[in-house]
Amino acid sequence: MLDILDDRICDKAIEYGLPTHSPAYRTELARGRIKVLRGIWRDAQPKVDPEGYVESAEDLEARLLQKDMRMKKNARKRER
């Protein structure tokens, strides 16, 4: 999968006249991006509560919005 992505990135860089980087650099960028996306995907999965019930769509949305607000609040604090 990373090889296919690397080939596509290289082709687009040549097509748009962008500088080409080494394959190792492009692979590392792709791995880092996949790692971030995997964490986002994992957080967006419904959780099971202590009683064994799966989280509803409304609860999932509320949890994700709450996390997003916490992250934005912390970002604003850091920027002061």
CA quadruple 15, 32, 79, 72: dihedral sign:
positive
Q: Which structural domain, as residue segments, surrounds residue 55?
A: 2-79
Q: What is the predicted pLDDT for the residue at 57? A: 93
User: Are the C-beta atoms of residues 6 and 27 closer than 8 Å to each other?
Assistant: yes
* The pLDDT value given to residue 56: 93
| Tens digit of each residue's pLDDT, the chain (80 residues) | 778 888 888 888 888 888 878 888 888 888 899 999 999 999 999 999 889 999 999 999 999 999 999 999 999 999 98
Residue labelled with tokens 């919005």: 65
Say how many domains are in the chain: 1
Per the confidence metrics, is the pTM higher than 0.95? Answer: no
**What secondary structure letter does DSSP report for 52?**
S
